Amino acid sequence: MIPPAGTGGSGNPINDITNSTVTVSGITPGDVISDVNVTLTLTHTFDSDLIITLISPTGTRVTLSNRRGSFNDNFTTTVFDDQANQPISGGLAPFTGSFRPDQSLRRLFGQDPNGDWTLEINDVAAIDVGQLVSWSLEIETGTLQTVVSDGNSLDQNHNATPGEAAGATLGDVYAAPAPVNDNGLLAPPFDRTTRPLIIPGPHIVSTQMSDHSVRAGPR
């Protein structure tokens, strides 16, 4: 039932929040989430009483619908999909079709899909009630592959020739500035033959994900 006790809006999570769990298992270790869609059907006589949230096995929360639907009824075969054309905020009950959730499901990308997923339905107002009919997950996974390059050499001495080795001059050596007064403090004035430390980090050129998909329903 929605809510599990009373008619909602009590402020007591035990009475107001309905939880349903889906267990995902068997995904190859190392595969991570690259896409998630949620399909939901429920009845309720005042949709905007409801805050509907998906919780991943790691505890990441994604709000799918935050009090949408005004005084109208039900969510009927509602698909929450980041690639949908219309946001749930712009839809009309019973929200049949695909809608972008109030929070992006992309925050789940890169996580391990295996484990217990929870659909949380919080009935935050009194009088109206309903029932969770069904819900399911569609998860795409893949192995993350990252290509890294060393990036560009820097022209530390500003002579238009990057990456020079030290020789007659300091070249493009990256050395911490040396204080003139050797008192143990990194404080000015500094020796003009030393320069600030500049360390170019690695540059991520591209990432790729090989896709697999899995469907799961509540237990």
Determine, yes or no, domain membership for 78.
yes
CB atoms within 10 A of CB 199: 6
The structural domain count of the chain equals 1
Q: Are strands 75-80 and 130-142 parallel, antiparallel or unpaired?
A: unpaired
Determine, yes or no, domain membership for 195.
no
- Domain span at 34: 13-140
Instruction: Give the max Cα distance, the chain.
Output: 84
In 7-151, DSSP assigns E strands to 17-24, 32-44, 50-55, 61-66, 75-80, 97-99, 115-123, 130-142, 144-149
What are the pLDDT digits (tens) for 120-149?
Answer: 999 999 999 999 999 999 999 988 777 766
Say what the pLDDT of residue 160 is. Answer: 74
Say what the pLDDT of residue 14 is. Answer: 96
Q: Is the pLDDT of residue 6 over 70?
A: yes
Burial class (CB in 10 A: 0-12, 13-18, 19+), 4: middle
- Nearest one of 86, 98, 92, 13 to 51, comparing CA atoms: 13
Determine, yes or no, domain membership for 91.
yes
Determine, yes or no, domain membership for 160.
no
- State how far the Cα of 11 lies from the Cα of 125, in Å rounded to an integer: 9
Spatial CB neighbours of 179, under 8 Å, sequence gap ≥ 6: 185, 186, 187, 188, 189, 190, 191
Q: Is the pLDDT of residue 187 over 70?
A: no
Determine, yes or no, domain membership for 153.
no
Q: Is the pLDDT of residue 188 over 80?
A: no
Q: What angle do CA 130, 133, 134 make, to 5 degrees?
A: 140
Q: Which of the residue ranges 33-42, 75-84, 204-213 would you say has the lowest mean pLDDT?
A: 204-213
Say what the pLDDT of residue 195 is. Answer: 55
Spatial CB neighbours of 127, under 8 Å, sequence gap ≥ 6: 7, 8, 46
pTM above 0.95, yes or no: no
Determine, yes or no, domain membership for 87.
yes
Amino acid found at 18 = T
Determine, yes or no, domain membership for 96.
yes
What are the pLDDT digits (tens) for 142-156?
Answer: 887 777 666 666 666
Domain of 67: which CATH number? 2.60.120.260
